[in-house]
Amino acid sequence: MSIEFANESGFDVDESELVAVAAFAIAAMDVHPGAELNMLAVDLDTMADLHVKWMDLPGPTDVMSFPMDELTPGGRPDMPEAGPATLGDIVLCPQFAAEQAEAAGHSTAHELNVLTVHGVLHLLGFDHAEPEEEREMFGLQDSILAEYYAELRENERRAKQAARDEKLLGRTGFLGRRD
């Protein structure tokens, strides 16, 4: 999987975290591992310009998605396996996200993770224009994020256990003898 990230926002973001959550969402949606994604973080003015140009809506927004190849998550059983594809572009506005995060009472990092998964789902054809679509998309978004955070916690637990084991084994040697 190839994910490129460029931060032109002037806002400090954890690029590796956003790439990781995007990769997790793409894998969770059973997209070919050779898929490509471009991510861009922009400032409020740039996002406002994009919002007007592409959506004909005034002012900035939090995330916009620009799909490239039409993909169906998981494919269909009667079709040949899909190969690598370009998913498209996700444009995030960290400053807008920070304001939303503050209003929602959680961190900007979490808000950007939510918006990244939201953007991936839009690239895969999900929408939230109708109530049923909204329930499906936001339910999937919440599920993917919950799995992502659970995996992070499990990886942290394993790393701590490995460090404790290494410390213990380093002191006593393999068979419990002092070195």
Where are the alpha helices (H) located in the chain, listed in sequence order?
Answer: 15-28, 44-55, 94-104, 108-123, 131-172
Quote the pTM value. Answer: 0.85
For the annotated binding site for Zn(2+), the residues are 118, 122, 128
Secondary structure element (H or E) that encloses residue 3, with its range: strand 2-7
For the annotated binding site, the residues are 118, 122, 128
| Residue 125 near residue 133 (C-beta atoms within 8 A) | no
Relative to beta strand 36-41, strand 86-92 is parallel
pLDDT of residue 169: 86
Alpha-carbon distance 159 to 32, whole Å? 29
Residue pointed to by tokens 């404790």: 164
pLDDT tens digits, 125-172: 999 999 999 999 999 999 999 999 999 999 999 999 999 988 888 765
pLDDT of residue 115: 98
Which pLDDT tens digits describe the chain residue by residue (179 residues)? 899 999 999 999 999 999 999 999 999 999 988 899 999 999 999 999 999 999 999 999 999 999 986 555 555 555 555 556 789 999 999 999 999 999 999 999 999 999 999 999 999 999 999 999 999 999 999 999 999 999 999 999 999 999 998 888 876 555 555 55
